[in-house]
């Protein structure tokens, strides 16, 4: 596979940055919710606190960061023309932010009307975003598996939003909405498409390019680049049959489909670790370590899933899904996102300063955009928060320190990202002032 970068298409820097700089703040709020509500939050995935926290993280942290990255990635890597990216960001970013606040409030306050408001906001925002992205991805002349996988991921987000809106309407309207679907099946399929069909599919598609490029590893085997997304998509379709043919999908059948899904996820994680071990340069920067934490979390998730299936007395515990959720959401996805933000923001700073007329003498290099010590410190805090969150699932009394640690890790990330954005603004102004100074001098001669 021949990766291609086309910076001519890069959208304005404010487009991805507004998403990136908002995302960690909501992670911090989610951590505070856990600290305030305490141990009861982790008793069950159905507690209002757990539902509010989860949606704040998956929507306002993960979705914000992923939408911002996708706007950048699709334009630069796929060379796709995104229709008025600044306008798209102006509309989508505040709506996603508001939608997640409505949704989290709906869970915490148990107010049905807020579910309806959240559904309306998400359908508007993400319907618009998905339309723009779908047109860009269909029209792009770029080829390669990454582009195909991104298309599938965008479809995965569409299914997630449609099912999420149906769930919100069900919770908002109660008995007034009649559907043939069971609530549990609806939730199972919504979660699978959100975490597997959207988030994991996007990570897989992006990793085909960024892991070899930034971590100097060999490329993913070609057969695997096709098999992973195809297998995952097939598993998601089979998993969704529980909505349409509940009688045909026995518990044993669902168990088999679930195991096939976690096997695919584990295969991807093991391959990525194997490629990392064969990297051409023995460097271990925070992005590299974050990817490693993410892949180990994904393997731990797969092993836990198998153990829970093998030992029903353990898997049947109400806290088992929370254990899986911690491994996959902060463990896998937030680790990948944070690791990539530590690469994307310095890269965008460098790129946009170049475009402003910067030179190696007038602008910092990529490694100077975010201090290495700050990134490593934040990474240790993230790891500590992850361990505390897992420990809190076993010993709920640890919920308060776990929530505070998670909040602190998100705030530290925010601090590092804001520092990078401020550095960009400072050097941009200096370069502009220098260019104006030169023009002024030339004019006086």
Partner 1 sequence: MPEPRLIDGRDMEPPEPLERAMAELAAMAPGDELVMLLRCEALPLYSLLERNGFGYTATLRPDGTNEVRIKKA
Which residues of this protein are in contact with partner 1, per CB under 8 A? Answer: 2-8, 79, 212-214, 216, 280-281, 283, 347, 350-351, 359-360, 365-366
CB of residue 177 to partner 1, shortest distance in Å: 50
372 Cβ contact list (under 8 Å, min separation 6):
285, 286
C-alpha–C-alpha distance, residues 103 and 55, integer Å: 7
Show the tokens assigned to 322. Answer: 């929370």
404 Cβ contact list (under 8 Å, min separation 6):
31, 32, 35
332: which DSSP letter? I
CB of residue 218 to partner 1, shortest distance in Å: 10
Show the tokens assigned to 110. Answer: 């148990």
DSSP for 103-138? Answer: HHHHHHHT-HHHHHHHHHHHHHHHHHHHHHHHHHHH
- Judged by CB, which is closer to partner 1: 8, or 180? 8
- Judged by CB, which is closer to partner 1: 148, or 279? 279
C-alpha–C-alpha distance, residues 181 and 234, integer Å: 21
- Judged by CB, which is closer to partner 1: 105, or 354? 354
C-alpha–C-alpha distance, residues 161 and 317, integer Å: 29
436 Cβ contact list (under 8 Å, min separation 6):
none
CB of residue 3 to partner 1, shortest distance in Å: 4
Show the tokens assigned to 147. Answer: 């582009």
CB of residue 154 to partner 1, shortest distance in Å: 23
CB of residue 182 to partner 1, shortest distance in Å: 48
- Judged by CB, which is closer to partner 1: 269, or 369? 369
From the CB of residue 135, how many other CB atoms can be counted at a distance below 10 Å?
14
CB of residue 183 to partner 1, shortest distance in Å: 47
- Judged by CB, which is closer to partner 1: 136, or 163? 136
CB of residue 78 to partner 1, shortest distance in Å: 12
- Judged by CB, which is closer to partner 1: 340, or 388? 340
- Judged by CB, which is closer to partner 1: 77, or 388? 77
Reported residue count of the chain is: 445
């Amino acid at each position: 596979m021949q990766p291609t970068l086309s910076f001519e298409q890069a959208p304005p820097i404010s487009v991805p940055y507004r998403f990136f700089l908002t995302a960690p703040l909501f992670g911090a709020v989610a951590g505070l919710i856990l600290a305030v509500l305490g141990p009861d939050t982790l008793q069950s995935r159905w507690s209002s606190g757990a539902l509010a926290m989860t949606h704040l993280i998956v929507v306002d942290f993960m979705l914000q960061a992923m939408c911002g990255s996708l706007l950048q990635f699709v334009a630069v890597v796929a060379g796709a023309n995104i229709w008025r990216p600044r306008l798209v960001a102006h509309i989508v970013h505040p709506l996603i932010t508001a939608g997640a606040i409505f949704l989290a409030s709906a869970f915490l306050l148990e107010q049905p009307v807020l579910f309806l408001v959240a559904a309306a906001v998400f359908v508007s925002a993400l319907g618009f975003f998905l339309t723009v992205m779908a047109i860009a991805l269909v029209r792009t002349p770029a080829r390669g598996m990454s582009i195909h996988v991104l298309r599938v991921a965008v479809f995965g987000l569409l299914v997630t939003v449609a099912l999420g809106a149906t769930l919100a309407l069900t919770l908002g309207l109660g008995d007034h909405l009649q559907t043939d679907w069971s609530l549990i099946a609806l939730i199972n399929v919504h979660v699978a498409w959100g975490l597997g069909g959207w988030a994991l599919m996007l990570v897989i598609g992006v990793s085909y390019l960024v892991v070899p490029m930034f971590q100097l590893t060999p490329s993913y085997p070609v057969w695997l680049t096709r098999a992973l997304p195809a297998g995952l998509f097939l598993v998601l379709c089979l998993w969704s049959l529980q909505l349409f043919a509940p009688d045909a999908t026995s518990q044993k059948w669902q168990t088999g489909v679930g195991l096939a899904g976690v096997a695919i996820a584990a295969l991807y994680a093991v391959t990525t670790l194997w490629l990392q071990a064969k990297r051409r340069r023995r460097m271990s920067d925070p992005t590299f370590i974050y990817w490693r934490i993410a892949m180990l979390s994904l393997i731990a998730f797969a092993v836990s899933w198998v153990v829970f299936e093998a030992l029903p007395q353990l898997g049947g515990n109400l806290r088992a899904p929370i254990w899986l959720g911690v491994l996959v959401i902060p463990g896998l996805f937030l680790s990948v996102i944070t690791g990539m933000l530590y690469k994307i923001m310095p890269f965008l700073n460098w790129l946009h300063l170049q475009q402003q007329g910067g030179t190696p003498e007038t602008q910092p290099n990529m490694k100077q955009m975010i201090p290495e010590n700050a990134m490593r410190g934040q990474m240790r805090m993230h790891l500590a928060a992850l361990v505390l969150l897992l420990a809190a699932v076993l010993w709920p009394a640890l919920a308060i320190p776990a929530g505070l640690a998670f909040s602190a890790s998100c705030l530290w990330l925010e601090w590092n990202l804001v520092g990078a954005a401020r550095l960009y603004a400072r050097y941009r102004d200096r370069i502009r002032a220098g260019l104006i100074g030169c023009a002024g001098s030339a004019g006086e001669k």
